[in-house]
Amino acid sequence: MAPDPIDRPFRSYLETTYSPIPRDDQERILDNIDFLIELSRDRKHSTNEVLEQLAKFIFRMFGFGEVAIGLKTREDGFFRYVTFFGLRKDVERNFRKLKYTEQEMTSNDAFPHVMLGKTICINPVEGLPKDEEPYFNRPYSLKGKRASNDEFREGDYIDAFMYGPGKEVVGWIEVSAPKDGKMPSRGTLRWLELVASIASLIVTQKWAEEGPIRK
């Protein structure tokens, strides 16, 4: 074996300093994103299986106690929830019964919201439609007044939208119940926007693999 031309202390410095093992939350987020992209490339894994891993990743890394992901149903064009993490099973069953048109998905009249970025918004509990109150883990907490501007209340939820190549909505990531009870940081919201953008590429790639829907 030929001698190593690279000085051993320098090699050790490089291998230690730039080890692929994540050292902080930012690196762990990037590591998880890379894992999801690799998972999506494997045709053995369905769209829903990849989204289940995505929901777990968001739950672990961003401090939200409840995560739901919805997609456009290709057969009829309605939007439905498909994946959940952190919600009670009876609440999941209620959510699975819901369906929305694209107009309803983005309507401020149907769901009053405030944009927090280019593709992410918060739907405060103050604008929650009465018929959606049963779809929350703690409906008894929906009443009352917000204690402070940075309080995240039961019934508040954040949506990060996924867009297809024609700028049409193909799905959304919904998070709520932050573990510290506070509004998320700007950095967390930017990460969620990026994750939703990557998720949209994964979904559209999977749909292309599945081919056109036969009606």
Q: To 5 degrees, how large is the angle CA 84–CA 56–CA 52?
A: 55
Is 118 within a domain? yes
Over 80: is that where the pLDDT of 20 sits?
A: yes
Task: Provide the pLDDT for residue 61.
Answer: 95
Q: Is 1 among the domain residues? A: no
CATH number at residue 70: 3.30.450.40
Q: Lowest mean pLDDT: which of 139-143, 145-149, 172-176?
A: 139-143
How is residue 100 annotated by DSSP? B
Per-residue pLDDT for 140 more than 60?
Answer: no
- The answer to whether residue 48 sits within a structural domain is yes
Is residue 12 a part of any domain in this protein?
no
Spacing of C-alpha 4 from chain mean position:
46
- What's the pLDDT tens digit per position in 157-209? 999 999 999 899 999 999 999 999 999 999 999 999 999 999 999 999 999 98
Q: Establish if 2 belongs to a structural domain.
A: no
> Is 11 within the bounds of a domain?
no
Distance CA 33, CA 198 (A): 8
Burial class of residue 63, CB neighbours in 10 A (0-12, 13-18, 19+): middle
The DSSP call for residue 103 is H
Residue 8 lies in a domain: no
Tell which phi-psi region holds residue 155, choosing left (phi > 0), alpha (psi between -120 and 50) or beta.
left
Domain that holds residue 113: 23-210
What's the order of all strands across the beta sheet hosting 120-123?
79-85, 64-72, 169-178, 157-163, 120-123, 114-115
Which of 47-51, 63-67, 78-82, 101-105 has the least mean pLDDT?
101-105
DSSP string, 16-29: HHT-SS--SHHHHH
More confident residue, 91 or 83: 83
Across 72-81, 125-134, 196-205, least confident range: 125-134
Number of domains observed in the structure of the chain? 1
Q: For residue 7, what pLDDT is reported?
A: 92
pLDDT of residue 128: 78
Average pLDDT, integer, range 29-50: 93
- The pLDDT-based confidence of 131 (bands split at 50, 70, 90) is low
Contact present, 169 and 102 (Cβ < 8 Å): yes
Mean pLDDT calculated for residue range 127-151: 74
Residue 43 lies in a domain: yes
Torsion sign (Cα): 174, 180, 92, 125 = negative
Instruction: Tell me what the mean pLDDT of segment 107-114 comes to.
Output: 90
Model confidence, pTM? 0.89
Report residue 206 as tokens.
Answer: 């999977």
